[in-house]
Amino acid sequence: MGNEGKEDQILIRVQKSRKENWKKLCKEKNLTLTDLLTASVENRILDNERRQVLAFIEKQDNVFIKIETNINQVAKIVNGQKFISESELKNFTAKLSEITKLKKQQNQIFKKIYEMLAK
């Protein structure tokens, strides 16, 4: 009953100190030894690392939401005043261009991360 889904066993010999190090690592990462070894052998990202990556992506997305909110606030101020100086407009446009460039880079990185997570 406890072996549902498990098809076979593999016995390996390792130094006791190495096994203890692996168990310590598993405890730190909240993993089973089987999960650690399987992910290592199959060159996959670990579940806890996957969660950390997804949390990072969510955090990055929140940063851009804040930036977009600030852009909307600037637009409302300008619309209310019906004026923006030439230098303020150039500065604002430069920042928008930089944000656009960073967003494109972020999206490329996220695409690579999602491809890794899918493995």
The rounded distance, in Å, linking the Cα atoms of 119 and 110 is 15
Per residue in 18-51, pLDDT tens? 889 889 988 988 888 888 887 777 766 666 677 7
Residues of the domain holding 27:
13-44
When divided into structural domains, the chain yields a total of: 2
Return the exposure string of 40-52: e unless at least 16 CB atoms fall within 10 Å of the residue's CB, then b. Answer: eeeebebeeeeee
| Residue 38 and residue 61 in one domain | no
Pair of tokens at residue 45: 């990202």
Q: Is residue 1 part of a domain?
A: no
Distances (CA, A) of 67 to 1, 74, 100: 53, 11, 11
Question: Cα(100)–Cα(14) distance, rounded to whole angstroms?
Answer: 51
- On whether both 65 and 104 belong to a single domain, the answer is yes
- Summarised one tens digit per residue, pLDDT across range 50-89 is 777 778 878 877 887 888 888 888 888 888 887 778 888 8
The answer on 109 and 69 residing in a single domain is: yes
